[in-house]
Each structure stands twice: as structure tokens, then as C-alpha cells.
Structure 1
Amino acid sequence: MHRLVILVALILMVSSCKEELIKPPENLITKDKMSVILYDLALVTAAKNTSVDVLKKNDIEAMKYIYTKHGIDSLQFVESDVYYASNPEVYDEIYEGVEAKLKGDLKVVEDAKKEQRTLDSIERIRKPKKLDSITVEKPLKPKVN
């Protein structure tokens, strides 16, 4: 009997976890679009952390740029983000998409660097070597006695 009570309690707890804690907002951003927005946000944040002067020089505000590019406003973004965050499985799917895109970008960059190193190596091989430090006047002749 004691085991049955524990089993029923576990079933109730598991089923109660499936309840939606937050209802979806009226203007919910789709999962796919949210993934693209978060990808762009990651890129802009990286740019902010490495090239602050360039962003200031071009008068670019990161979040304003994101909102304009995707046709959303800050409230829509925050409400959608909170909704997806309340559902960890869906939120994880969204971030897995972002991570996959970033890893794809990293591979492209690494491949381009590798290709450039190969081209640089080929160029070094093709260039004639300079013999600036060696001067050859006349060949030496052996002395005949």
C-alpha cells in the first residue's frame, strides 16, 4: 500500500510538471525565428565585446538593430523569451539551433584560415630565394705545382 501511494504521488508530480506555467503571449515569436534572433544577438554581442569603437563610429545600437532587423519590439522579444524559458525542452531546442549555426560559422572560418595558410605556403615555395648574404666572385681553382 505504501508503494502504491508513492507511485501515485510520483505520477501526479510528473504530470503536474507538464502544465504550462506561462501562457503563450499573443504575439509569440516562432521557435525558428527566435533561434535566428538569438543567433544574431550572439553575433552582435561578440561584436560589441571586440569592436566597440566600430559600433560607436557607425552609431549602431545592438538591441535596436536586432529589433529592427526582425521586425519585433522589445516587449515581444521579452515575452517570447520568458515563455520559451518556462519550457526548458523547447528553449533547449532553440539554443541547440543557435549553437549549430555558430559551430557552422566557426568551421567556415577555420576552413578559410586553413586554405589561406596553404596558399601562403605555396606562394613561399614559388618565390625565388634571395642570396643577399652570399657573394660569389670567381670560382676557386686548385693550385697546380
Structure 2
Amino acid sequence: MKNLWVILLAILLFSCGEKLLDKPEDLIPKDKMINILRDITILNSARSISVTVFHDQKIDPTTFVLSKYEVDSLQFVISDRYYASLPNEYEAMYVEVEKQLEQKEEYVSEAKKIKDSLELERKLKQSKKMKEKLKKSMDSLP
């Protein structure tokens, strides 16, 4: 009886690890899929901020990104479904997307700080020049 329980438990465990979908022939590689998901996320966020710009320019973020990576929509849907059938792998992909987005956000934030400091420096130089001109013009008055 004890052996029967061990066999049933083993069968149960192995049946839980069964794949839901077979790997498609034209599966998008995981690293490329992560890049696609990242870019779609970025463009969808931009679209939510500037709806009219995307509408006026007739830009669909998903179509734009898929053409950038030379992937058709069917291949993307099939690959997305396959990866979604592997929850741990799919979650790991989205964790990587989130990590890359955070890195991009840090990069943009640093670039903005540098731009702002350069702009401030430029304004300070202009201000000094104006003060010098005013001082010279005041000195030249009789």
C-alpha cells in the first residue's frame, strides 16, 4: 500500500509538470521577446500620455514595435501564448522587462540632471555677461 501511494504521488507530480503547448517552430527567442515586450510597454505608456499625437500620426505601438523587430503579429501572439503557458518563465521575462525599464528610467533621470545643470550653467554665464555689460555701460556714463 505504501508503494502505491509513492507511485500515485510520483504520477501526480510528473503530470503537473506537463507542458500545455508544444514549442512553436517560429518561436521568438526569449531575449528578443523581452525587448519587444519592453518597447511595447514604453510606447503604450507614451500613448497614454499623448493620445492625440499617436492618433494623428496613426501610430499603433504594437504594430510599430513588431515591424521594428521584423516579427509578424501571428508569430508574436503564438510566441506570447507559448511563454504564457510556462508561468515561471513568463514571470521571469516580465521581471526582466521591469528591470530594463527601471534601468532606462535611471538613465533618463541622470541625463535630465545633466541637461538641467548644463542649462543652469548656461544661464549663469549669460547672467554674468549681462552684468558685465551693464557695469561697462554704467562706467561709460558721464
Deviation at 1:64, TM superposition (A): 1.8
Residues of 2 paired with 1:86 and 1:100: CA distance? 22
Describe the shift of the 1:116–1:3 C-alpha distance in structure 2 as closer, same or farther (beyond 3 A): farther
1:76 maps to what in 2? Answer: 75
1:100 partner SS? helix
2:57 maps to what in 1? Answer: 58
Bigger helix share: 2
2:47 maps to what in 1? Answer: 48
Question: Unpaired runs of 5+ in structure 2?
Answer: 132-142
CA RMSD, aligned part only? 2.7
Question: TM-score with structure 2 length normalisation?
Answer: 0.74
Identity of aligned residues (%): 38
Number of equivalent positions: 129
Residues of 1 paired with 2:119 and 2:71: CA distance? 45
Deviation string 1:108-144 (CA, Å, 9 cap, x unpaired) is 122123334444555676645x8xxxxxxxxxxxxxx
Question: Unpaired runs of 5+ in structure 1?
Answer: 131-145
Note if 1:38 corresponds to 2:37: yes
Question: TM-score with structure 1 length normalisation?
Answer: 0.73
